[in-house]
């Protein structure tokens, strides 16, 4: 098959990384995979094995399937000659009414969250294409029997996107620091514009912290293993990528239900929280005080996340497209 996808760019975003990962697997399987962006820009952070072309070249390609993730690209999709046209529903804030009206576009959901939202809000029955994660890359040799000293709390540091909930983690840590001095906060991000860069440069808190930027993705496992607990208080997430990566690295997870309902089960594979500093602080405090709980959650989470590797997802999509 020849498969394509329309992406807004090839910068480091979860929705972009999804298709670069899948593209590499489909290429290994013997299919052709082409990424189309407005300018045909190459990623400088990922070794992509497929083809990348500007939007203007789309008319020259005969595709078996063409994916897109943003409804604003609907005109390009409608005008394409692709045999199957598929919206991969990855963000809960997208309006799918125009997709529904177009009539000949299939919808994939990247998680149960998006599957249920598509049905409940738009009356669309989506195809479940949940995942993924490179489980071989992230899986640790063993889990640390004791936490770090100081106890290390990690969160995604995308400060300019409020839906990521970084501020709740910072506020929770500041609350905890008044009582427990033996903690530190680790944030990470790769800023892709000046606004993000400025927000990181100006970030500060009373809690001892480290803000890691431009960390190579191939070294992400060692990044996550700096943490004793990973906190993801997101909203309107499809598939919570950083939460998945932390869990696959053997780190205890604290998160909202946003983008996590397929792998996060309260008191079993992690702790489910509400989206406020008090709920975040209580959950962190529980794990700090109970090392057996930390190990129990990390072990169960690591086992559960193995179901969602990229290869399983690619096989699922391939079988569906062949039908």
- Strand positions, DSSP E, 82-205: 84-89, 106-109, 127-128, 151-156, 183-189
What residue spans of 143-290 are helical by DSSP H? Answer: 166-177, 194-202, 220-224, 241-248, 277-289
DSSP 273: -
Alpha-carbon distances, residue 245 vs 125, 140, 311 (angstroms): 28, 12, 16
> Over the range 249-277, which residues count as b (16 or more CB within 10 Å of their CB) and which as e?
bbbbbbbbbbbbbbbbbeeebbbbbebeb
**How buried is 296 (Cβ within 10 angstroms: 0-12 exposed, 13-18 middle, 19+ buried)?**
middle
| Rg of the chain in Å (alpha carbons) | 20
Give how far Cα 49 sits from Cα of 14, 29, 64, 186, Å: 18, 12, 19, 32
Of the candidates 104, 96, 97, the one whose C-alpha atom is nearest the C-alpha of residue 79 is: 104
Does pTM top 0.85 for this prediction?
Answer: yes
Domains of the chain: 2-129 (3.40.50.11930), 136-308 (3.40.50.2000)
Task: List the pLDDT tens digit at each of the 323 positions of the chain.
Answer: 999 999 999 998 889 999 999 999 999 999 999 999 999 999 999 999 999 999 999 999 999 999 999 999 999 999 999 999 999 999 988 999 999 999 899 999 999 999 999 999 999 999 999 989 999 999 999 999 999 999 999 999 999 999 999 999 999 999 999 998 999 999 999 998 999 999 999 999 999 999 999 999 999 999 999 999 999 999 999 999 999 999 999 999 999 999 999 999 999 999 999 999 999 999 999 999 999 999 999 999 999 999 999 999 999 999 999 98
**Coil, helix or strand for 117?**
helix
pLDDT at 103: 86
Residue 192: its pLDDT value, please?
Answer: 87
| Residue 102 phi, psi (nearest 5) | -65, -30
192: Cα separation from own chain's centroid = 16
pLDDT score, position 58: 96
């Amino acid at each position: 098959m020849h498969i394509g996808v329309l992406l807004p760019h090839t910068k480091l975003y979860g929705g972009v990384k999804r298709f670069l990962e899948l593209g590499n697997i489909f290429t290994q399987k013997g299919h052709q995979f082409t990424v189309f962006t407005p300018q045909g820009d190459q990623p400088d952070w990922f070794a992509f094995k497929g083809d990348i072309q500007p939007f203007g070249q789309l008319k020259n390609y005969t595709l078996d399937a063409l994916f897109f993730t943003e409804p604003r690209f609907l005109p390009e999709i409608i005008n394409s000659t692709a045999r199957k046209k598929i919206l991969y529903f990855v963000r809960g804030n997208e309006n799918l009414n125009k997709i529904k009206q177009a009539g000949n576009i299939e919808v994939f959901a990247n998680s149960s969250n998006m599957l249920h939202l598509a049905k409940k809000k738009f009356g669309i029955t989506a195809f479940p294409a949940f995942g993924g994660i490179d489980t071989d890359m992230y899986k640790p040799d063993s889990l640390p029997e004791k936490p770090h000293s100081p106890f290390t709390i990690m969160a995604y540091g995308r400060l300019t996107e409020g839906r990521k909930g970084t501020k709740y983690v910072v506020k929770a840590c500041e609350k905890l620091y008044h009582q427990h001095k033996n903690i530190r906060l680790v944030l990470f991000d790769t800023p892709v514009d000046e606004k993000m860069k400025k927000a990181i440069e100006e970030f500060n808190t009373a809690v001892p912290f480290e803000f890691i930027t431009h960390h190579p993705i191939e070294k992400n496992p060692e990044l996550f293993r700096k943490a004793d607990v990973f906190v993801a208080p997101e909203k309107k997430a499809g598939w919570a990528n950083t939460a998945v990566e932390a869990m696959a690295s053997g780190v205890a997870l604290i998160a909202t239900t946003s983008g996590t309902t397929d792998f996060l089960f309260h008191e079993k594979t992690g702790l489910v929280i509400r989206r406020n500093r008090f709920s975040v602080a209580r959950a962190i405090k529980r794990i700090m005080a109970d090392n057996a709980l930390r190990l129990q959650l990390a072990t169960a989470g690591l086992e559960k996340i193995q179901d969602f590797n990229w290869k399983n997802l690619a096989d699922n999509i391939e079988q569906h497209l062949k039908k």
